[in-house]
Amino acid sequence: MDDHPRTPWHALAHRRYLRSAWPWRAAGYLAGSALTGIPVLLVLVLLAAAGATLSLVLVGLPLLALLGLAGVPVAAVERRRLCLVDRTPTGTPHRTPAEPGLLAWARLRYREQATWRELAYAVLHGLLLWWVDLAVVATLLGLPLLLLTTPLQLALAADGEVKVVKLWLVTSYPPAFAIAAAGAVLLPALLHPLGALAGARAALTRALLAPRERELQGLLAEVTRSRARLVDAFEAERRRIERDLHDGAQQRLVALTMTLGLARLDAPPGPLADRLATAHDEAGKVLAELRELIHGIHPQVLTDYGLTGALADAAERSAVPVDTDLGTGLPRFPESVEAAAYFAVCEALANIGRHSGAARAAVTARHTGAALVIAVTDDGRGGADPAAGSGLTGLADRIAVLDGTLAITSPPGGPTVLSLEIPCPVISPTSNP
């Protein structure tokens, strides 16, 4: 049996229900309904009356429009209150507007089904539900507590008699204590239906205000699209940085290197010539490092020749000899797909050179018509653990944004196989060789 029940219904099946906090959580949830129900009723009545009255002069139209959104804050409060009797997290069914501003928010809310369900809940809550909740608490909890306090009522009565619940006249303490004993027996018995009714009330709230399957799918699709937009923005920023470095800092370093080279040729032998030679060599090293940095940010070969040329270039630059099998050449893919695939292969080849002890590696790539499929294999010692800081975890997340998958198979003794698959359309038939 669950030692940590999530709702009153689950708690009722537990032997320790009466000794737990669940009966009082249920009573607090139902009694607290009036704290939201009364203001909701007043706001709805005022908005509806003012809007209907003033609509004749068009002033009331904004009030009627506001009435359509009245359920949104009510639902937010009720979802928070729900945690008293339902430990299952309750998210919002609403989507985030694509544009900032109150107008974009309101326009999106009016198009969502959840907004109208929340309005229906607000009307139902203000007109009926909080009355029923208070009646349940008054009957199932107030009645036994009133019986329990009969001796106290008799002691405080000025005329020495009390009429219990308007039914029984009590004038002495033996009947008063007998009624109190009946209340003590009745209280734990009525706490069970109190919990059951609180569970039913919470289930109704969750059914109307919690996200539904279609809304969750919409929220998930929106998150996926936002992640894809972030990847596109990231790739655009990488290209901008690469372009700025290529056209700015690199060109200045080239000019500096040429100037130092000419000065070195013109300088007479001596300490000055030696210092110019040192500066010329250092400028050449900085230029080479900058070119490597630019290549790592966004290789120009990927832009010019597509994935076919970029994978061939990565194989030539690898510390381990690499055999490539790219078929007759890969088509051009979206930039985010090409970049994710290229950097995954580069990271795999770098790991092979650093950790595998392999003598040879191989890269195969194909486009099946619906997806790009790439495999990188090596004949090393195997036993690779992608969770041990290989750098592929971030790439796997990046590929997951594109609805792709990245997997590594590396038994001890090898071979190690990294495979990735990215569903993608074709931009142009074939990459330039």
pLDDT tens readout for residues 7-66: 888 888 888 888 889 999 999 999 999 999 999 999 999 888 888 888 777 777 888 888
CA dist 41 → 121, 312, 341, 351, 420 (Å): 12, 71, 58, 66, 57
Indicate whether 247 pLDDT > 70.
no
First to last CA, the chain: 66
CB 423 within 8 A of CB 404: yes
1 band by pLDDT with thresholds 50, 70 and 90: very low
Show the CA angle centred on residue 401, arms to residues 396 and 405, nearest 5°: 45
Indicate whether 286 pLDDT > 90.
no
Higher-confidence residue of 98 and 92: namely 92
Q: Which of 20-24, 184-188, 260-264, 312-316 has the weakest average pLDDT?
A: 260-264
| Per-residue confidence (pLDDT) for residue 243, from 0 to 100 | 66
Separation of alpha carbons 414 and 99, rounded Å = 51
Contacts of 69 (CB under 8 A, 6+ apart): 106, 109, 110, 115, 119
| Per-residue confidence (pLDDT) for residue 227, from 0 to 100 | 62
199 band by pLDDT with thresholds 50, 70 and 90: very high
In the chain, pLDDT over 70 holds for what percent of residues? 84
CA dist 10 → 89, 199, 415 (Å): 16, 9, 51
HSE of 194 in the Cβ direction (CA atoms, 13 Å)?
30
Mean pLDDT in residue range 208-218 = 66
| Per-residue confidence (pLDDT) for residue 433, from 0 to 100 | 47
Radius of gyration of the chain (CA): 37
211-249 in b/e burial notation, b at 16+ Cβ within 10 A?
beeebeebbeeeeeeeeeeebeeebeeebeebeebbeee
Separation of alpha carbons 149 and 136, rounded Å = 20
Mean pLDDT in residue range 201-212 = 85
122 band by pLDDT with thresholds 50, 70 and 90: very high
Element (H, E) at 47: helix 33-54
| Per-residue confidence (pLDDT) for residue 77, from 0 to 100 | 93
Mean predicted lDDT score pLDDT of the chain: 81
| Per-residue confidence (pLDDT) for residue 226, from 0 to 100 | 59
CB 115 within 8 A of CB 172: no
CA dihedral (276, 281, 285, 287) positive or negative: positive
CB 417 within 8 A of CB 409: yes
CA nearest to 429, candidates 278, 325, 318, 327? 327
Higher-confidence residue of 178 and 169: namely 178
Domain segments of the chain: what residues? 8-211, 231-297, 305-423
Indicate whether 112 pLDDT > 90.
no
Indicate whether 305 pLDDT > 50.
yes
| Per-residue confidence (pLDDT) for residue 120, from 0 to 100 | 92
Give alpha helix (H) positions in 210-245.
Answer: 213-244
- Give the burial class of 127: count Cβ atoms within 10 A of its Cβ; 0-12 exposed, 13-18 middle, 19 or more buried: middle
Indicate whether 342 pLDDT > 90.
no
Mean pLDDT in residue range 107-132 = 91
Mean pLDDT in residue range 144-151 = 86
Fold of domain 305-423? Heat Shock Protein 90 (3.30.565)
Higher-confidence residue of 356 and 108: namely 108
| Ramachandran category for residue 405: left, alpha or beta (phi over 0 → left; psi -120 to 50 → alpha) | beta
| Per-residue confidence (pLDDT) for residue 293, from 0 to 100 | 64
CA nearest to 314, candidates 222, 92, 305? 305
| Per-residue confidence (pLDDT) for residue 102, from 0 to 100 | 85
81 band by pLDDT with thresholds 50, 70 and 90: very high
Mean pLDDT in residue range 68-79 = 91
